[in-house]
Each structure stands twice: as structure tokens, then as C-alpha cells.
Amino acid sequence: MSHIIRSETIFTDLTFPLSVQRLSQECLDHHSHDFVEVVYVAKGTAQHDIYTLPMDEELGRVVAPITISDVILEGDIFVIAAGEQHAYRQTEELRIFNILFMPGLIENSFIYLQDVPGIFDFFVVEPCFRTEMAFRYKLRLPPIARLRVEACLDMLVHELEGQQAGYRAAAMGLFLELLVIVGRAYTSVYAPSPYAIDLQGKRNAIQEAITFIEQNYAEILSLDTISGHVFLSPHYFSECFKSETGLSPWEYLTRVRLAQAKALLVSSDVSITDIAQSVGFGDSSYFSKVFKAREGISPRTYRKSGTKSKIV
């Protein structure tokens, strides 16, 4: 069963193929839509699952389904293709924007967008080949791009809610601006230009490090291990990581580990010691100390109360 704590949906009339949802959720079971869904994570974290059905061209039929599962965090943006099923689990203070539109909306505007290759790559190509691009389906926007996207979304919601004269033209303009912002960010991360190789190389390294942390948080990780994975010195890597994400590598790792630990505390009877070890805290006393410092209560109290962070 889906439990939506708060869903503020803005729909326009049926002749205008664009709408926006602002959602705050505890969990949302797997579902699909007949339209394209662009999801921007404004706050919080969740485990996100995409259930994709790859086609075997030789057999001419769908083969075994593939589940892509990943942690999504504030600043992430990704595309869910029409008909593609997905779900959110283990949510913590999750607040998302859903931009919903029919596929033809981009196609009809592509004459204005074709000089930004990242738009086509991110919104069209990637959803078709995501099983071959492990964990690249999401884009973590750089800080400046986040601010621009959030401002754009707030204005888009305002236009669609108010429906004042000319709101359709204003909404379309904002939608195209949003595509350009995201397309440029995608290009800068995955297709470095010859004029900014150094800066974009740093961003690629940080994206790779984030993926490495999210896939290996349960292991014993050190700054040397993480920075070595992306071939940067520990000190330089720490500076780049903080500049790109606003967090130190250790703060980011701790956040991912605690999110996993809280989910286990409220959904299982596994001992606190075993949970601490399973998410990468080798010492349960240290885990309890960090948990209480971040959450304000002990892991045991958190489990007894069945508390999840409140969604506001």
C-alpha cells in the first residue's frame, strides 16, 4: 500500500501537456505512468528502485526484468520513461518535485534545444540504455545548477497554480529553461569540453567517488581508499569533494550509513550491534554515539518509538 503524507499536485487543463507535483512521502510502492516523469529531490533521501524490462532483439521479446536500485539524495535529478515502473523505499524526510509531460513535448521543441547535446542524452538516450550505464541514470546537480533548478521549479509551480493570462507560454518557457540547465549540467559531467577539462575532470571524479561510497558504504572505507579509487591525493580530493557537494567525504559517508541504519532499525529485529557492523560502523558504541549526536536520540529509543524523521 502507498502512504503519501502530503501530495500537492498542480494540473493544468487537459489541452496543456505539462504538470508538476510536489510530494512528501514515507513510501510509494512501484508504479508507472503513461507520461515522462522527471524527478528532482529537493530534500531528504530514499532507496529508489527502477524496474526495467530489457528487450532481446534476437528473441524479439522482453527478457528477465532488471532492477536498478540506488540511494537518492538532495540535489539528484533523474528521468522515468513512460511505462517504466519505479518505487521509493526507506525514505527519510523525502521531498520531491515531479515534472510530468508527454514525450512529444521535447520533440516539438527540439529545434531550440539541439545545440545542448546533454538534453538529448539525459532525457532521451539514457532512459533507453540505462541497463548498460550502471548508476548513471541520475545526475547530481552542482550547487549553482541546484539553485537555478529550484528557482525554476518554484516559478513553474506558481504559473501552473495561478493560471493567469499567458501562463501556458510562461510555463513552456520555464520548462525549456529547466531542460537547458539540466542538459548543460549533464554535458559538463559526462562530456567534458576541451576548454574545461580540468574542472569537469574534477566533477567526474567526485561523481565516481559518490557512486563508490554508495555502493561500498558497508565496507571499511578510509579517505585514502576513496581518493585512491579516483586517482586523487587525499587532501586534494577532500577539497574537491567539499566544493562540489558541500560535505566532507566522511560526512557524506556517515549520512549514507545512518540512512541505511535507520531503515534497518524500524524494519527489522536485527540487533543494534549487527546493524552497526552491516552499515560500516565496526564498533556499536561508536555507532550509538554518532547516531545520538545526529538524531538526538539513541538507536534503541529510535527503534522502540518506531520513529522516522518527520516530513515537513
Could you read off the pLDDT of 263-297 as tens digits, one per residue? Answer: 899 888 889 999 999 999 988 889 999 998 888 88
Indicate if the pLDDT at residue 11 is higher than 70: no
Percent of the chain with pLDDT over 90: 17
pLDDT band at 310 (very low <50, low <70, confident <90, very high): very low
Instruction: Decide: 25 and 4 in contact? Cβ < 8 Å.
Output: yes
Indicate if the pLDDT at residue 211 is higher than 70: yes
Residue 1 has a pLDDT of 35
Residue 12 has a pLDDT of 45
User: At what angle are helices 167-190 and 104-113 packed, to 10 degrees?
Assistant: 70
Specify whether the backbone of 280 is left (phi greater than 0), alpha (psi in -120 to 50) or beta: left
* DSSP bridge partners of 79: 38
Q: Cell numbers at residue 213, please?
A: 561510497
Work out the average pLDDT over 71-100. Answer: 85
User: At what angle are helices 249-267 and 197-216 packed, to 10 degrees?
Assistant: 30
Indicate if the pLDDT at residue 206 is higher than 80: yes
pLDDT band at 24 (very low <50, low <70, confident <90, very high): low
Residue 194 has a pLDDT of 46
User: At what angle are helices 234-245 and 197-216 packed, to 10 degrees?
Assistant: 90
Indicate if the pLDDT at residue 247 is higher than 50: yes
- Give the Cα separation of 7 and 15 in Å (integer): 23
Q: Is the pTM of this model over 0.75?
A: no
- Give the Cα separation of 259 and 214 in Å (integer): 11
- Give the Cα separation of 247 and 255 in Å (integer): 10
Among 38-47, 66-75, 109-118, the range scoring the smallest mean pLDDT is 109-118
Among 52-61, 105-114, 249-258, the range scoring the smallest mean pLDDT is 52-61
User: CA separation (Å) from 75 to 117, 179, 192, 252?
Assistant: 21, 15, 21, 13
Q: What is the mean pLDDT of the chain?
A: 78
Write out pLDDT tens, residues 127-151: 655 554 444 568 888 888 989 999 9
- Give the Cα separation of 55 and 61 in Å (integer): 6
Work out the average pLDDT over 103-108. Answer: 72
**23 class by beta-carbon count within 10 Å (0-12 exposed, 13-18 middle, 19+ buried):** buried
DSSP 194: T
What are the residues whose beta carbons fall under 8 Å from the beta carbon of 176, sequence distance 6 or more?
109, 112, 113
Residue 94 has a pLDDT of 87
What are the residues whose beta carbons fall under 8 Å from the beta carbon of 108, sequence distance 6 or more?
none
pLDDT band at 299 (very low <50, low <70, confident <90, very high): very high
Instruction: Give the distance between the most distant pair of CA atoms in the chain.
Output: 61
* DSSP bridge partners of 28: 88
Distance of CA 256 to the CA centre of its chain: 13
Q: How many CA atoms lie within 13 A of 35 on its CB side?
A: 15
The better pLDDT of the pair 56, 116 is held by: 116
Write out pLDDT tens, residues 184-196: 888 877 654 443 4
Residue 115 has a pLDDT of 78
The better pLDDT of the pair 147, 13 is held by: 147
Indicate if the pLDDT at residue 311 is higher than 50: no
The better pLDDT of the pair 108, 241 is held by: 241
User: 138-149 burial string, b = 16+ CB within 10 Å, else e?
Assistant: bbbbbeebbebb
The better pLDDT of the pair 260, 124 is held by: 260
Write out pLDDT tens, residues 39-58: 999 988 888 888 765 544 44
- Give the Cα separation of 45 and 96 in Å (integer): 10
User: CA separation (Å) from 171 to 6, 109, 161, 167?
Assistant: 24, 13, 11, 6
What residue type is 213 in one-letter code?
I
Residue 186 has a pLDDT of 84
Element (H, E) at 251: helix 249-267
